[in-house]
Amino acid sequence: MAKDSGCARNGFQRVIFDGGRERRKAKWNNWRHMNCKCCYGIIIRIAQRLYGKKSGAIEKKWPCHLAFCGNMHYVLFMDSAIKYRGKTFNAEDISFVKGLIAENPEASRFALSKKLCREWNWVQPNGALKDVVCRGFMLQLHRAGQIQLPERKRPPLNPFGKRKKPEVVHIQQKPLAGSLKSIRPLTFSQVRRTPLEKLFNSLIHQYHYLNYCQPVGEHLKYIVYAQGDPIACMAWSSAPRHIKARDQFIGWIPDVRMKNLPLIAYNTRFLILPWVKMKNLASHILGQMARILPGDWQKQYNHPIYYLETFVDKSLFSGTCYKAANWIYLGDTTGRGKDDQTHKPNRTIKAIWGLPLTKHFRERLCHAQ
């Protein structure tokens, strides 16, 4: 039995004590710490249910030399299933991973993740392997003691750990005012993985109140031009996992949401450059983007999108441009963030806005692929 709490927390789900003081009636979610040396300082979680269909039991005895303790008997019920990123992996899956490692004793962790992706068909819609996700899954199994990965051959490269701030790109700050009609039509340039991406990153970092943050996963970046000069920037990325108001509006159940989440694009940044002052420009850009983005997303990632969404900080903005572009106000966030453990607001409340791209969006998004 490991002495640290991590192994006890991750490996064992249900624990009961038969000897010594009865602990069945303890609060289910509390962690109990035993300080006597013979108990090895094990941190124990009292589970809500003592038995489960997918649990296997291991019974052991640890002699305790404390007068009030006597012999301590405990039963550990270990779950055979492991969850990772919303997917459940059973003992058979873990056994397959062990076999793959045994069959390729000279393979590196990188090579093993590639092989497992091919065996399980972990492939993105555009054909790229999900090897980063796979390596994370295998590392979780390794840390839980379920498999033994080969030693690392080199420290993992983390492009986000030492990422520098975007290089400042200077442009002509030509004041622009007047009617929208005088500068139409606008030009929308998708700049991800092009020489203009540096300009996009620089403008967002200099002039957006949230600065620049490198998107993760599927994402596209746009610069909007008027008469050859940049006037606005927009960034789109993969949608957040859980948004209660959105999920209720669509009619999602958890399993379908996890499968169809890639069919939504999330507007992470929207910037109109500060020297541009033009009425109705923001809503016009949003309307044009709703027509342009689905085709670009299909071309880049080989799958459609049927819905757009964004958050608007209510302490700073009212969301008028989204309303004018026919976006729908769905409600407010809780202010707790996606990984909250306290159940208390710890950030500003944001309005949730969404835009269906087709009248059949619910049918498409709720269809189990």
Closest CA to 236 of 358, 124, 357: 357
Task: Indicate if 75 and 105 belong to the same structural domain.
Answer: no
pTM for this one?
A: 0.68
Tokens of 262: 């890639």
Whether 154 is in a domain gets the answer no
Residue 183, helix vs strand vs coil: coil
pLDDT value of residue 157 = 62
Judge if 136 and 183 occupy the same domain.
no
Is the model more confident about 20 or about 215? 215
Q: Please give the pLDDT value at position 266.
A: 97
Q: Is the pLDDT of residue 23 over 50?
A: no
Whether 344 is in a domain gets the answer: yes
Quick check: 354 pLDDT over 50? Answer: yes
pLDDT for res 15: 38
Radius of gyration of the chain (CA): 26
Q: Does the pLDDT value for residue 364 go beyond 80?
A: yes
Residues 54 and 87 in one domain: no
Residue 91 resides in a domain: yes
Domain boundary among 92, 125, 143: 143
More confident residue, 178 or 235: 235
Residue 161 lies in a domain: no
pLDDT, tens only, 188-241: 999 999 999 999 999 999 999 999 998 888 999 999 999 999 999 999 999 998
Percent of the chain residues past pLDDT 70, beyond the cut: 74
106 and 200 share one domain: no
Is the Cα dihedral 340, 342, 347, 349 positive or negative?
positive
219 in any annotated domain: yes
Q: What is the pLDDT of residue 339?
A: 62
**9 located within any domain:** yes
366 pLDDT band (50/70/90 cuts)?
very high
Q: What share of the chain is helix, strand, coil (3-state, %, to 5)?
A: 30, 25, 45
Residue where one domain finishes, among candidates 47, 79, 111:
79
Count structural domains, the chain: 3
Write down the pLDDT at residue 160: 56
User: How far from 241 is each of 130, 291, 339, 348, 351, CA to CA, in Å?
Assistant: 18, 24, 11, 19, 17
Encode pLDDT of 87-142 as tens digits.
888 889 999 999 999 999 999 999 999 999 999 999 888 788 988 889 999 999 99
Say yes or no: 275 and 136 in one domain. no
Instruction: Answer yes or no: do 73 and 102 share one domain.
Output: no
Is position 220 within any domain? yes
Q: Report d(CA 226, CA 68) in Å as an integer.
A: 82
On whether both 107 and 207 belong to a single domain, the answer is: no
- Please give the residue range of the domain that contains residue 130: 83-143
**182 located within any domain:** yes
232 and 360 inside one domain = yes
Please provide residue 260's backbone torsions phi and psi, each rounded to the nearest 5 degrees: -105, 5
Instruction: Select from 96, 121, 143 the last residue of a domain.
Output: 143
pLDDT of residue 333: 92
Res. 54 pLDDT band, cuts 50 70 90: very low
- Evaluate if residue 67 carries a pLDDT over 60: no
Domain CATH number, residue 314: 3.40.630.30
pLDDT at position 202 is: 97
User: Which residue would you say has higher pLDDT here, 304 or 128?
Assistant: 304
Q: Do 130 and 247 share a structural domain?
A: no
pLDDT of residue 57: 38
Q: Indicate if the pLDDT at residue 368 is higher than 90.
A: no
- For residue 17, the number of C-alpha atoms closer than 13 Å in the C-beta half-sphere is 20
Q: What rounded mean pLDDT belongs to the chain?
A: 80
Residues 356 and 207 placed together within one structural domain of the fold: yes
Residues 75 and 107 occupy one common structural domain: no
pLDDT tier at 247, thresholds 50, 70, 90: very high
* Structure tokens, 139: 């590392």
Average pLDDT over residues 157-170: 76
Q: Alpha helices of 104-180 — where are they, by DSSP H?
A: 109-120, 131-143
* pLDDT above 60: residue 70: no
Task: Looking at the structure, tell me whether residues 54 and 98 fall in a common domain.
Answer: no
Under a CB-based contact definition with an 8 Å cutoff, are residues 233 and 197 in contact? no
Range picked from 12-16, 19-23, 104-108 for highest mean pLDDT? 104-108
